[in-house]
Structure 1
Amino acid sequence: MTDAISSVLSQIRAHQSRMNGMADIASGSAIGPTAGAAPAAGSGFGTAMSNAIDNVSKVQNDASDLQRAFELGDPKADLARVMVSMQQSQVAFRATVEVRNRLVQAYQDVMNMPI
């Protein structure tokens, strides 16, 4: 697997494990965070999404740089590496767009719920 896909999968798994932990808290009698429980610094869905978007941006910039090097005739930038890099950036971008679309749909579903 590529680094970008592995990164996205690991972030999804980490998010799932955090959500499983939150489901355990929610199944108790307390509503909201328990006393003395503080969220870990740097954790959260927003941070995970920000990191994922930064990784996608980095993959796209690397692919663009490699493509430019190939066009300029750099012997280190062969066609196979350029094509693989471009495909990696395309897959990473499509995955990010799909996550964004699902988040927007979930937000719309929540906003359309009757009160």
Structure 2
Amino acid sequence: MTISSIEGMLQQLRGLAQVAGGGTTTQAATAATESFSGELQRSLQRLNATQDRAYGKAEAFELGKPGVSLNDVMIDMQKANISFQTAVQVRNRLTTAYQEMMNMTV
């Protein structure tokens, strides 16, 4: 795995974060100058917030609270699922990249 592949994954994380968090382009520009670990941590925090929001909405629907429709619950649950699947794939690729770097000889 090359540096460009890792940068591509980072771009995917940023795009996912903007979609999930409704971020602006100025936030993306600021994030581009910060560390990889900070970006990864913020992405995981947004993933957690997306899941919490989806589970909260599902619980509200189950309790019969007014104003919560099944359509909204299903859409939020799918967004949370897609976000989680993306995070798992990023983790898998980062693990593979790390293993490849550890196997390199000098």
- TM-score of the superposed pair, with normalisation by structure 1: 0.66
Q: Give yes or no for contact 1:70–1:78 (8 Å, CA) kept in 2.
A: yes
User: For residues 33-78 of structure 1, what are the alpha-carbon distances to aligned partners after superposition, in whole Å with 9 as ceiling and x for unaligned?
Assistant: xxxxxxx6xx110010000000000000000000000000012110
> Which letter maps to 1:3?
V
2:19 alignment partner in structure 1: 3
Q: 1:43-58 maps to which residues of 2 (within 5 A)?
A: 43-58=34-49
CA RMSD of aligned residues (A): 2.7
Q: Report % sequence identity.
A: 34
- Which residues of 2 match residues 88-107 of structure 1 at below 5 A? 88-107=79-98
Normalised to the residue count of structure 2, the TM-score between the two structures is: 0.71
Runs in 1 of length 4+ with deviation above 3 angstroms?
none
Is 1:67 aligned to residue 83 of structure 2? no
Tell me how far apart the structure 1 counterparts of residues 21 and 65 of structure 2 sit (CA, whole Å): 27
Contact 2:21 2:46 in 1 (8 A): no
Aligned amino acid, residue 71 of structure 2: A
Amino acid corresponding to residue 60 of structure 1 in structure 2: Q
Q: CA deviation at 1:6?
A: 6.2
* Consecutive unaligned residues in structure 2, runs of 5 or more: 1-15
| Structure index of larger Rg | 1
